[in-house]
Structure 1
Amino acid sequence: MDASELKEAVARLERAHETREPIDPLVDAFPGATAEDAYRIQQELVRRWADAGDPVRGHKVGLASAAMQRQMGVDQPDYGHLTGSMFHLEHQPIPTTRFLQPRIEPEVAFVLGAPLRGPGVTVADAVRAVDFVLPSLEIVDSRIKDWRIALVDTIADNASSGGVVLGSRPTALGDVDLRLAGCTLHVNGELVATGAGGAVLGSPINALVWLANTVGPLGVTLEPGHVVLPGSMTRAHPVRPGDTVVATMAGLGSVTAVFSGEDA
């Protein structure tokens, strides 16, 4: 993509965020766009948000499980940024009007106590950098009509990020085997999905390693205090006004998100 095409793609996504109106897939308008182009679009969007007072507070790995890759029709993970405005309090109503077409995913959340920067980050480095883990619910959202996304679309759209709800009980990484930790997802009391940590690249810690080694060569360090979401343990489930969503993870406890229909 040349500079003018890049600028136009950023403008389209910005309008979708502002108007809450989804747009046609970017790959339709820019068929030659590559994943590298898409990350340039994402980085420009995030830079503009930070300049407007919404700084980066973490990162997410998307499409880390085989289930999510099948659901979205892609064959590799991607990553996005978590900004301050994306964090919502557990049990407090979240206006669904903040989103276009939200879905929800249960994830382990890593909270870092030391910096991580690749390349060359190992599992040992990643384990040492984690301060504690929390159960979390990620709200994924797409500014692309009907979730008709190719990899370029979701990357450019900040890895389809929408929001995150963190649980309030921290657990030391050494106190739980994340590979074997089972998860249930209930919406309005109905079981809608089950999964386990092993669905996320074999272990959520592998996703943290992948992220550090992927963004490091771009000059990005995963900072102390930042939250890293490694990927969903189940398929994503749509949410609507009035829904109450509870994810329960073995060894980590539960986290609850409540959605209202009120304006943001």
Structure 2
Amino acid sequence: MTDIEKHAAELARRLTEARASGVAIPRPPGLDLAMARQVRHACIDMLDREGPVAAYKVSLSTSTWGALPAGRVVEGDARIARETLFDPLLEAEVAFRIDRPIGADPDAAAILDACSVAPAIEVADSRWAGWRPSEAERFVIPDAAQIEADNAMSGWLVVGGPWRPARDMPFDRLDIAIEQDGERRSWGPLREVMGSPVAAVRWLVAEVRKAGRLVEPGHIISSGCPCPQMVTVPATGGCWESVVDGFGRARVIFF
């Protein structure tokens, strides 16, 4: 193992332990994207203790991706202890489930034919010190390398229903929103996700392949959030839903 690989593995270990301990770690000076990618891969390898990779996520803000283990993916209503997270950020997204093999370089038609879709809520969280999106005066926004190294700030993925064939969904005419206790907090049109969530899935499949990994049947892809407003969770918790009108919803309760 080279010195660079040892450094990446050590930083990944510290990030992984921070998630378990609830103690954030300092942001490393001089972290570049090349090193950050190695850290992310090491973080993903360390997720095995929570199960195999079950889902991938698209991070639109920095054009990167992350992975979630089976233990962090919930289908149906979810209950998550707020105290187990640093300062969660909620994003309304459409999740794609890979039902049949899509090949190494699928086009949009292949993705539509092979996938089912459902509303989802991605719970993003960061292990870096200064991650306080709920407190604007204290919030230090992570840079692209810090987001990359922190497995694209992967936290949880909550997938609602119903599952429907992707081929049947008019993505260019659908909006998605986050609601808190029935009140709309943020919304956006799905066409803002790389022109279509299908394009985001195609992009992720290619990026994962470049990294030496595969997207296979059974995997879920969280395709990215088009909602511009940040939605955070107070210490008191509450109920949030991701809603696609006329389609379905996903729900998570923080307690």
**Which residue of 39, 52, 55 corresponds with 1:55?**
52
Q: Which residue of 2 aligns with 1:137?
A: 121
Distance (whole Å) between structure 2 residues aligned to residue 187 and residue 80 of structure 1: 26
1:106-145 correspondence to structure 2 within 5 Å: 106-118=92-104, 120-130=105-115, 132-145=116-129
Is 1:85 matched up with 2:71? yes
State the aligned residue count. 242
Q: Which amino acid aligns with 1:257?
A: V
- Structure 2 gap segments, 5+ residues each: 132-140
Q: Which residue of 2 aligns with 1:229?
A: 222
Structure 1-normalised TM-score?
0.85
SS in 1 for 2:8: helix
Is 1:242 matched up with 2:240? no
Q: Which amino acid aligns with 2:120?
A: S
**Which residue of 186, 191, 211 corresponds with 2:204?**
211
Q: Which amino acid aligns with 1:23?
A: I
Q: Decide which moves more: 194-203 or 232-241.
A: 232-241
Aligned-pair Cα RMSD in Å: 1.8
Structure 2-normalised TM-score?
0.88
Deviation sequence 1:218-261 (CA, Å, 0-9, x none) = 3222110110001012133101333110121034212211111x
Deviation sequence 1:28-69 (CA, Å, 0-9, x none) = 2xx0x332321211111221221x25210121111x2xxxx3
Distance (whole Å) between structure 1 residues aligned to residue 152 and residue 102 of structure 2: 21
Q: Which residue of 1 aligns with 2:179?
A: 186
Distance (whole Å) between structure 2 residues aligned to residue 43 and residue 7 of structure 1: 9
- Structure 1 gap segments, 5+ residues each: 70-75
Distance (whole Å) between structure 1 residues aligned to residue 7 and residue 212 of structure 2: 24
Q: What is the deviation of 1:17?
A: 1.4
Distance (whole Å) between structure 2 residues aligned to residue 152 and residue 117 of structure 1: 30
Distance (whole Å) between structure 1 residues aligned to residue 94 and residue 38 of structure 2: 28
Q: Which residue of 1 aligns with 2:39?
A: 41
